[in-house]
Amino acid sequence: MIYAVWLPLLVPFLAAPLARRGAEQLPPRVAAWSLTVLSGALALSATAALALLTLAGALRLPSVARFARLSPSLPDVGPPATVPAAVAAALALTALCALAARGVRRQVREVRRARRESGAVPGAGDLVVLPDERPDAYALPGRPGRIVVTSGMLRALDGREREALLAHERAHLAGRHHLFLVCAESAAVLHPALRSLREPLSFALERWADESAARATGDRAFTARAVGRAALAARSVRGPGPGPRRPRLALGATAGPVPRRVSALLAGAPRTRAPLSRVLACLLLASVALSAAAALDAATDLHTGVEIAQGERPPSPPADDD
Amino acid sequence: MPERQHDEEADGRPDRRPAGELEAGVLAALWAAGAPLTPAAVQLELGTGLARTTVTTILTRLHAKGVVTRARSGRGYAYAPAQDAPGLTARRMHAELDKDDDRSTVLARFVSDLSPEDEDLLRDLLEGGQDASRPLPSPQPPEGPA
């Protein structure tokens, strides 16, 4: 399977659309885990494939081959990478890893700065209130996590709805949802086809937190009203403004994330739509397995090739000669 | 005032929550009100069936921490959220966060922006639901639901 090394680079293009469809069928918690693990696994496989292409190309350089003590008489080592492919892979690998590392560093820095600033505001328990009429609320990860809410948001909600809001943010913190987001964000940098999984992931995380809030407050309707009222209040203050960012959902979803969250809460506890989701789950598992196996196969090929060229293992005899 | 009043409560659920969560709820209620509140008013505002004694204890604790200020009101105190020299730190923090357009990558916000179609859809959904007693987009002072 000498072309195995290219598979991990191609699989994400097929798997990402499937995963988007699959995530809609799953309960939010399962959807969030699936999307995160899937993007992580596919991104790692693709990165490994780039690394293998680079390595195979590098072994063709006389100086590297000498360093690795390869016999010059056995130049065909590893995947059949042409030199231009190896050079492209090396450039891509370097650039993508640098971008991913920079992205993670930037996010950590942002959260640190926000925490430093929020530490100066008097808070109660895990709550920090910002005196600001624009309704806004978010969870600041860290130990301990903090919930940052503006006074405008608190005024827009009544007692039970505020409880739902706080429970929602606590669910983000307790579930360490920011780690899911960082993972998906890095995966999206490492392979562009995985970018389309960020939107469904953040929706699944919001739904997950909504369901936790509904359980904590014991009232789905109040939780739904809290989400809906917060969004309407935010809009009434900000005004229609310059065309709000619509999520790029290509699957014909007519509603943005907030109405979908509200209707999901009003509709009752989430259920898995069994047959379809099982088929999709199998397909996705297969794609992850294919990606990982292909990367592994390519790595084994390369390793065997290197050992042969080092003279530590005789070239395998042609199999079908007899 | 003893801090443990759990057994007095018929519906003990809210009282068994961690102290931090109760404090957060009380502070949120004070901010939502926008005017100083007595413990009785806070209890009403919370709408969670927390015992008055518990509310008073929490308010006292928050006052000791400097998170709320209080002023004499009748036989007791009325409490309001403390703000440092006119909310300077808070404003700075907000400005700081506003600079980053893509902060939503890690900081999951409670609600995202609505498109006009979303807004109509949302109104339909919420007005269709039960308990539509309060007008919808109103940031008016709320009252605890029954």
pLDDT over 90, % of chain A: 23
pLDDT digits (tens, 9 = 90+) for A232-266: 887 776 544 333 332 222 222 334 688 888 888 88
Q: How confident is the model at residue A106 (pLDDT cuts 50, 70, 90)?
A: confident
Q: Is the peptide bond before A200 cis (omega within 30 degrees of 0)?
A: no
| Beta-carbon count within 10 A of B27 CB | 28
| Beta-carbon count within 10 A of A254 CB | 10
* Closest Cα in chain B, distance from residue A274 (Å): 27
* Partner A contacted by B29 (CB < 8 A): yes
A241: which residues sit within 8 A by CB, 6+ positions away?
none
Closest chain A CA to residue B116: A240
Report residue B69: phi and psi, to 5°: -110, 160
Structural domains of chain B, count: 1
For residue A222, the one-letter residue type is F
B-chain CB neighbours of A162 within 8 Å are 25, 28-29, 32
Of A250, A149, A234, A165, nearest to A200 by C-alpha is A250
Q: Is residue B137 part of a domain?
A: no
Give the C-alpha separation, A17 to B27, whole Å: 44
CA distance readout (Å), A153 to A142, A147, A230? 23, 12, 7
Pick from B21, B63, B91, B114 the residue to mutate for testing the A interface (most A CBs within 10 Å).
B114
Pick from B110, B115, B143 the residue to mutate for testing the A interface (most A CBs within 10 Å).
B110
pLDDT at A244: 31
**A155/B34 touch (CB, cutoff 8 Å), yes or no:** yes
Pick from A106, A115, A121, A160 the residue to mutate for testing the B interface (most B CBs within 10 Å).
A121
Domain boundaries, chain A: 4-241+254-309
Pick A303 or A32 by higher pLDDT.
Answer: A32
CB half-sphere exposure, B59, CA atoms < 13 A: 27
Q: Which domain holds residue B11?
A: 1-130
- Average predicted confidence (pLDDT) for chain A: 80
Q: How confident is the model at residue A160 (pLDDT cuts 50, 70, 90)?
A: confident
Q: Tokens 């309707």 map to which residue? A: A221
pLDDT at A190: 94
* Closest Cα in chain A, distance from residue B42 (Å): 10
A-chain CB neighbours of B87 within 8 Å are 130-131
Does the pLDDT value for residue A58 go beyond 70? yes
Query: For A196, which DSSP code?
Result: G
- Nearest by CB to A127, from B18, B28, B82: name it: B28
CA distance readout (Å), A171 to B6, B22, B106? 25, 16, 15
> What CATH number corresponds to the domain at position B77?
1.10.10.10
pLDDT at A73: 53
For residues B55 and B46, the answer to whether their CB atoms sit within 8 Å is yes
Calculate mean pLDDT across residues B37-51.
86
pLDDT at A211: 93
Does the pLDDT value for residue A185 go beyond 60? yes
Does the pLDDT value for residue A122 go beyond 80? no
pLDDT at A279: 74
Sign of the Cα torsion A15, A17, A23, A29 reads positive
Does the pLDDT value for residue B29 go beyond 80? yes
pLDDT over 70, % of chain A: 83
- Listed by number, the residues of chain B in 71-130 with a beta carbon closer than 8 Å to a beta carbon of chain A are 81-84, 87, 89-94, 96-97, 100, 103-119, 121-123, 125-126, 129-130
pLDDT digits (tens, 9 = 90+) for A204-213: 999 999 999 9
What is the maximal distance between C-alpha atoms in chain A?
85
- Nearest by CB to A158, from B22, B117, B145: name it: B145
Q: Is residue B18 part of a domain?
A: yes
pLDDT at B79: 93
Flag the least confident range among A58-72, A177-191, A197-211.
A58-72
pLDDT at A254: 37
pLDDT at B94: 61
Q: How confident is the model at residue A55 (pLDDT cuts 50, 70, 90)?
A: confident
Q: Is residue B139 part of a domain?
A: no
- Nearest by CB to B137, from A110, A154, A236: name it: A236
Alpha helices (H) in chain A, listed in sequence order: 7-25, 28-58, 62-67, 83-119, 151-156, 159-174, 177-190, 198-217, 220-238, 257-267, 274-309
* Closest Cα in chain A, distance from residue B74 (Å): 25
Calculate mean pLDDT across residues A95-124.
83
* Closest Cα in chain A, distance from residue B37 (Å): 14
Flag the least confident range among A59-73, A114-128, A215-229.
A59-73
Q: Is residue B107 part of a domain?
A: yes
Give the C-alpha separation, A183 to B133, whole Å: 43
Q: How confident is the model at residue A298 (pLDDT cuts 50, 70, 90)?
A: confident
pLDDT at A81: 55
Does the pLDDT value for residue A99 go beyond 90? yes
- Which ipTM did the prediction report? 0.72
Give the C-alpha separation, A286 to A275, whole Å: 17
Calculate mean pLDDT across residues A69-82.
58
pLDDT digits (tens, 9 = 90+) for B104-138: 455 667 777 777 778 888 888 888 654 445 555 54
